C-alpha cells in the first residue's frame, strides 16, 4: 500500500470542480455614511459592494486580483477556496453587483 502511494507523482490530486455560488450584492455609494465626499487626496471613491451568500464556504475573502481591468477577478478565501467572478457596473462604471461567481476548493 505504501509503495503505491509513494510512486504517485506529486501534484497528482484531481482538481476540485469549480462550482457556481449564489451571491447577492448591495452597492455601497458613500464612503462615509451620510456624507457625499468622493475625493480623498489623489484617490476617488467610486463605490463598493456588500456581498452575502447562503453558501457556508463563502466569506473571509482575503485577497483578489483583477484579471481584466475592473471586471473579471480571481481571489482566495480563508475558508480554503479560490473564487472567481465579474464585477457588474452601471453606465458611469460604478460597481453594482457580482456576476458569474464561482468557487473551487484548494487541493494539494
Q: Which three cell numbers stand for residue 7?
A: 510512486
| Residue 36 zone, left/alpha/beta (φ > 0; ψ -120 to 50; rest) | alpha
Give pLDDT, residue 10. 54
In a domain, 101, yes or no: yes
As for how many domains the chain has, the answer is: 1
In a domain, 4, yes or no: no
In a domain, 76, yes or no: yes
In a domain, 82, yes or no: yes
Cβ-contact 74, 88 below 8 angstroms: no
Mean pLDDT of 70-89: 94
In a domain, 29, yes or no: yes
Residue-wise pLDDT tens digits, 4-60: 444 445 555 678 899 999 999 999 988 877 777 888 889 988 899 999 999 998 988
In a domain, 1, yes or no: no
CA distances from 90 to 55, 85, 96 (A): 26, 17, 6
Q: Is the pTM of this model over 0.85?
A: no
In a domain, 2, yes or no: no
Domain of 87 in residue numbering reads as 23-105
pLDDT at 89 over 90: yes
In a domain, 27, yes or no: yes
Amino acid at each position: 500500500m505504501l509503495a503505491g502511494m509513494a510512486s504517485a507523482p506529486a501534484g497528482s490530486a484531481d482538481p476540485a470542480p469549480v462550482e457556481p455560488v449564489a451571491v447577492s450584492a448591495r452597492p455601497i455609494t458613500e464612503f462615509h455614511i451620510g456624507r457625499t465626499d468622493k475625493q480623498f487626496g489623489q484617490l476617488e471613491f467610486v463605490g463598493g459592494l456588500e456581498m452575502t451568500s447562503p453558501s457556508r464556504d463563502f466569506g473571509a475573502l482575503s485577497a483578489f486580483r483583477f484579471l481584466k481591468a475592473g471586471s473579471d477577478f480571481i481571489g482566495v478565501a480563508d475558508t480554503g477556496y479560490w473564487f472567481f467572478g465579474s464585477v457588474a457596473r452601471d453606465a458611469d462604471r460604478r460597481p453594482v453587483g457580482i456576476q458569474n461567481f464561482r468557487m473551487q476548493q484548494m487541493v494539494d
